[in-house]
């Protein structure tokens, strides 16, 4: 199936260490310890006559320099690299999904000069993620070298950057003397296909944050059935919205997320027969991009029920890889004219687990309390039993999972104790709110009297909403729906609910443009250039460039009523380097109301935008503008394409914050929020020149 990657760490005269924090090394770089990563990859490109090639190469990253060999230099001393280049701090790394059969591709480019680019591929998504970490570490080394003074800056200007797309760059020699060794891969034989074992008892060698989502979601999960140790839940809260039924299955698989992902997406007939009891032959009929394809399959229902007819189906699969290592796989029923139903088969719509349960009479039970139904499926709805039976349970549910089978007697006996606990909780929440207020005050200068931010003086092209039922408008919710890092996060990874935003959202623009726009704040008709805007101590402009036909820009204006303290985290972010901003600028999304498949695609985890997409910064006068190019990531483009299709029925919350990584930066605070209420795409206005 796909190869394994093993990581080893060695150090000279020091202790070994593997793993790290959520975001890697801190912004000070890697000090003087240069790191080394190496392993076999596939180099993808186009030759001088326009033909694509895919060559097996040995890739070496030494500090902030990269080398590519035809042979392993460890086994062949004296081998010279065929390519060399320096990794600049402006490097962008993007996982673009699966191509060329079963290869997973990684693209990197300079965000200031996209002619300097390249692509490599590996046999598994786990290997790709390790190489992404390697490039990120090299960028940190480049940041460290850049901060050492003018001589280092002059040296960087003379160094050749990575460019694997064109002809071989000139070979240069660089200093060695490496102290730390991190090995990725063990040779070309590891790239050969081999079976993966889901039952292997081994730990993943990749470390991620162990907490859940960064959004408090209004789920009310109820266990409706257990099957072979797997609990099947239905979201009762989502059912009330009539947006379709959200169902999840929870169980324990002793394997990494990468391994399970590869098995689920595999179309190999022999392998699927070992675990998939419902589908017969499954065939890939079209690959749309690295994260989306169209699949044809058959169901032989005669094996499972009294039905005498065979059935086939066509659906598209879209998958996303989160920064926390998790995968989201969505199935959408689709029509494909080039693949009509087979002779003797009946075409049905297939969207996942619910159809599996509905097609198997052994799982169908009558119940007066739980009804599973869907507006998007042709398969008739079936009722599931509320009883648990004798099936085994696994303690692997989410923190928001709930069940109505609690012991009522224990509730009554502990009623008095719970009252005391609730009082203590209320007292703790009140003190936490006071602590958050005092912590955020240090970001703004308390010695300067605040200015009045009169909303009537600021107008954007999108209307400010009057209530929750309003549509095609914006509002600014509190941060209580988001989970952020608490004061003790570095010790126990505890997160707390967010407080009120530090900055006030004063206006929102919704533009329709032919080409993506930047430097919106410099436009003569911009809010920032108005007389009222010039009197504001500080304005943060977030320009979300939305790729579509035509393109759109959602521009958010956040204002501070007092000057920003230069020594605060916000002050360091405003006047810091682009690399520092990239490593700290964080966004948390939340779909408050909308279809479940959009919720699953968008997710609820925080995202470091500077690492996920290209961000450009403009610091002038009393403002900082951040232009976020969502189209620079193929995954983000896919998600946005899905969201735009349903945007008129969505209520979306966004929280913006600066990631805290040090003791004196905690607890985190919400920098700004926005709620987009059922925005209409047609309401966007052209940006006049």
Is 390 part of a structural domain of the chain?
no
Give the per-residue pLDDT at 437.
Answer: 47
pLDDT tens digit string along 28-62?
A: 334 445 678 899 999 998 877 778 888 999 999 98
Q: Count the neighbouring beta carbons within 10 Å of the beta carbon of residue 423.
A: 10
Is 437 part of a structural domain of the chain?
no
Task: Give the number of domains in the chain.
Answer: 3
Confidence of residue 281 (pLDDT cuts 50, 70, 90): confident
pLDDT tens digit string along 67-81?
A: 999 999 999 999 999
For residue 126, pLDDT over 50 is answered with yes
Give the per-residue pLDDT at 435.
Answer: 46
Instruction: Please tell me whether residues 187 and 244 are part of one structural domain.
Output: no
Nearest alpha carbon to residue 687 among 461, 502, 398? 461
d(CA 71, CA 77): 10
Beta bridge partners, 674, equal: 654
The DSSP call for residue 682 is: G
Is 553 part of a structural domain of the chain?
yes
For residue 11, pLDDT over 50 is answered with no
Length of the chain: 689
Nearest alpha carbon to residue 640 among 627, 625, 656, 629? 629
Is 399 part of a structural domain of the chain?
no
Among 383, 406, 426, residue at a domain's last position? 383
Is 400 part of a structural domain of the chain?
no
The DSSP call for residue 353 is: H
State yes or no: cis peptide before 100, omega within 30 of 0. no
For residue 503, pLDDT over 50 is answered with yes
Highest mean pLDDT among 342-346, 457-461, 560-564: 560-564
Instruction: Please tell me whether residues 229 and 100 are part of one structural domain.
Output: no
Instruction: Please tell me whether residues 65 and 140 are part of one structural domain.
Output: yes
User: Higher confidence at residue 25 or residue 584?
Assistant: 584
Instruction: Please tell me whether residues 156 and 252 are part of one structural domain.
Output: no
Give the per-residue pLDDT at 270.
Answer: 81
User: Higher confidence at residue 327 or residue 431?
Assistant: 327
Instruction: Please tell me whether residues 543 and 633 are part of one structural domain.
Output: yes
Instruction: Please tell me whether residues 544 and 590 are part of one structural domain.
Output: yes
Is 359 part of a structural domain of the chain?
yes
**Which CATH number characterizes residue 343's domain?**
3.30.530.20
**Which CATH number characterizes residue 175's domain?**
2.30.29.30
| Global confidence as pTM | 0.65
Is 408 part of a structural domain of the chain?
no
Instruction: Please tell me whether residues 53 and 150 are part of one structural domain.
Output: yes
d(CA 100, CA 121): 9
Please, are residues 266 and 198 in contact by the beta-carbon 8 Å criterion?
A: no
Instruction: Please tell me whether residues 535 and 580 are part of one structural domain.
Output: yes
Q: Count the neighbouring beta carbons within 10 Å of the beta carbon of residue 319.
A: 22
Instruction: Please tell me whether residues 90 and 151 are part of one structural domain.
Output: yes
Instruction: Please tell me whether residues 110 and 159 are part of one structural domain.
Output: yes
Among 171, 191, 211, residue at a domain's last position? 191
Domain that holds residue 341: 221-383
Q: Count the neighbouring beta carbons within 10 Å of the beta carbon of residue 305.
A: 12
Instruction: Please tell me whether residues 145 and 236 are part of one structural domain.
Output: no
Among 152, 174, 191, residue at a domain's last position? 191
d(CA 30, CA 134): 12
The dihedral sign for the CA sequence 560, 566, 570, 574: positive
For residue 411, pLDDT over 80 is answered with no
- Quote the percentage of the chain above a pLDDT of 70: 69
Is 436 part of a structural domain of the chain?
no
Instruction: Please tell me whether residues 186 and 253 are part of one structural domain.
Output: no
């Amino acid at each position: 199936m796909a190869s394994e990657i093993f990581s080893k760490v060695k150090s000279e005269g020091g202790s070994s260490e593997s793993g790290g924090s959520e975001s890697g090394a801190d912004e000070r770089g890697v000090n003087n310890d240069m790191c080394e990563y190496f392993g076999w990859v596939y180099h993808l490109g186009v030759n001088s006559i326009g033909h694509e090639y895919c060559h097996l190469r040995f890739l070496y990253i030494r500090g902030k320099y990269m080398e590519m060999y035809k042979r392993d230099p460890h086994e062949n001393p004296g081998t010279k690299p065929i390519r060399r280049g320096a990794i600049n701090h402006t490097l962008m790394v993007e996982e673009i999904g699966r191509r060329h059969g079963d290869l997973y591709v990684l693209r990197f480019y300079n965000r200031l000069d996209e002619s300097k680019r390249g692509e490599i591929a590996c046999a598994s998504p786990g290997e790709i993620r390790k190489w992404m970490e390697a490039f990120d570490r090299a960028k940190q080394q480049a940041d460290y070298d850049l901060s050492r003074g003018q001589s280092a800056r002059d040296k960087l200007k003379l160094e050749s950057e990575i460019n694997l797309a064109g002809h071989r760059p000139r070979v240069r020699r660089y200093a060695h003397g490496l102290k730390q060794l991190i090995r990725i891969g063990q040779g070309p034989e590891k790239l050969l296909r081999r079976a993966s074992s889901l039952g292997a008892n081994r730990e993943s060698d990749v470390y991620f944050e162990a907490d859940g989502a960064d959004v408090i979601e209004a789920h009310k999960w109820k266990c409706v059935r257990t099957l072979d140790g797997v609990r099947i839940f239905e979201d009762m809260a989502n059912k009330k919205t009539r947006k379709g039924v959200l169902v999840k299955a929870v169980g324990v698989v002793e394997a990494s997320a990468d391994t399970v992902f590869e098995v689920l997406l595999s179309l190999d007939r022999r392998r699927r027969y070992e675990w998939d009891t419902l589908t017969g032959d499954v065939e890939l009929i079209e690959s749309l991009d690295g994260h989306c394809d169209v699949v044809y399959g058959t169901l032989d229902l005669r094996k499972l029920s009294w039905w005498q007819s065979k059935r086939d189906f066509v659906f598209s699969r879209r998958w996303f890889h989160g920064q926390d290592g998790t995968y989201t796989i969505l199935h959408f029923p689709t029509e494909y004219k080039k693949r009509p139903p087979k002779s003797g088969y009946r075409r049905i719509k297939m969207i996942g687990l619910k159809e599996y349960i509905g097609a198997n009479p052994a799982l169908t039970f009558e119940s007066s309390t739980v009804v599973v139904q869907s507006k998007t499926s042709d398969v008739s709805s079936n009722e599931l039993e509320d009883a648990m039976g004798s099936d085994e349970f696994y303690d692997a549910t989410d923190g928001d999972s709930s069940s109505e089978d609690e012991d009522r007697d224990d509730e009554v006996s502990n009623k008095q104790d719970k009252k005391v606990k609730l009082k203590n909780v209320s007292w703790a929440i009140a003190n936490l709110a006071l602590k958050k207020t005092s912590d955020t005050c240090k970001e703004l200068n308390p010695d300067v009297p605040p200015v009045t931010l009169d909303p009537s003086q600021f107008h954007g092209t999108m209307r400010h909403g009057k209530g929750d039922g309003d549509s095609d408008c914006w509002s600014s919710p509190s941060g209580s729906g988001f989970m952020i890092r608490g004061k003790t996060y570095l010790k126990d990874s505890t997160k707390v609910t967010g407080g009120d935003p530090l900055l006030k959202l004063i206006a929102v623009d919704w533009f329709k443009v032919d080409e993506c726009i930047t430097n919106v704040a410099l436009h003569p008709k911009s809010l920032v250039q108005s007389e009222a805007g010039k009197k504001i101590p500080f304005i943060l402009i977030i320009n979300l460039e939305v790729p579509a036909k035509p393109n759109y820009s959602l521009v958010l204006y956040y204002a501070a009523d007092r000057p920003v303290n230069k020594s605060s985290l916000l002050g360091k972010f405003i006047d810091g380097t682009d690399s520092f901003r990239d490593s700290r600028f964080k966004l948390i999304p939340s779909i408050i109301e909308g279809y479940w498949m959009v919720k699953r695609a968008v997710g609820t985890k925080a995202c470091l935008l500077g690492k996920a997409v290209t961000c450009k910064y403009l610091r002038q006068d009393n403002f900082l503008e951040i232009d976020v190019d969502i189209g620079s990531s193929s995954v983000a483009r896919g998600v946005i394409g899905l969201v735009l299709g349903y945007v008129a029925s969505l209520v979306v919350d966004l929280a913006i914050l600066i990631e805290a990584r040090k003791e004196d930066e905690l607890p985190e605070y919400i920098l700004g929020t926005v709620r987009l209420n059922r925005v209409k795409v047609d309401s966007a206005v052209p940006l006049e020149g």
